[in-house]
Amino acid sequence: MNTLRHLLVQRAARLQDRPALTCKAWGTLDYSQLRNRVEGVALGLMAEAPPLGTTYHASWNDSKCPYEPWSWIAEVAVTACGCVWDPEGHPIDPSILGGSRFNNEEGRGTYHDRDYLLTGSCLALPTLSHQDILLRLQRENQKHGWDHTTKLSLSCSDSLTPRGRVLLWNALYAGSHVVLTEPETPTSFSVFFSKNKPISSSLGALSDFWIS
């Protein structure tokens, strides 16, 4: 496994019907369904055949964002396409995020061909490659012991922050279950449960994850 795309594919293959993501709008997606939703966005993007390294970012109105975690789905899709997730990048057309251009069959061939071009050295963020991020995920998961028994509760608004994104990527790497809560639900920034027992987590230690 040397790219974040391979991470997604492997987790879906190994965990399949285990819960991956729960939110109000979608209910609970298992890992196969999570992969399908990510690839639906990826096909919409790849219908335009963007070059490797093209930068993207998702933006939408505040009323939609809390209930439909398209930002997380879009971030995984962008990196799976060999493009770069960058807040300064091109905004993803909302029609790709579950709209008329979602799961666009015109992008399927390009998406699968891109797998042969995507390597660990390709950038996933402006300053970090796929391999850089995978090594950091491996380090954090070994440190905290997150695995498929881990459950992460995170508010939708927190999931858009840099530290929230670290937690989401770590959950994908671990094969954990993420529960996104509504903004009005009082929660701490993150709560981990493993086999129904709380896991302490130092969020401060995660703040430098994205620093190159």
In angstroms, the CA 32 to CA 112 distance is 17
The pTM for the full model equals 0.88
In angstroms, the CA 32 to CA 37 distance is 9
* Low-confidence stretches of the chain (pLDDT beneath 70): 59-68, 183-207, 212
Domains and CATH numbers, the chain: 4-206 (3.40.50.12780)
The 10s digit of each residue's pLDDT in 46-59 is 999 999 999 999 86
Written as one letter, the residue type at 15 is L
What phi, psi does 40 have (nearest 5°)? Answer: -60, -40
The 10s digit of each residue's pLDDT in 148-178 is 888 888 888 888 888 888 999 999 999 999 9
- Any bridge partners for residue 57, and if so which? 91
Whether the Cβ atoms of residue 124 and residue 133 lie closer than 8 Å to each other: yes
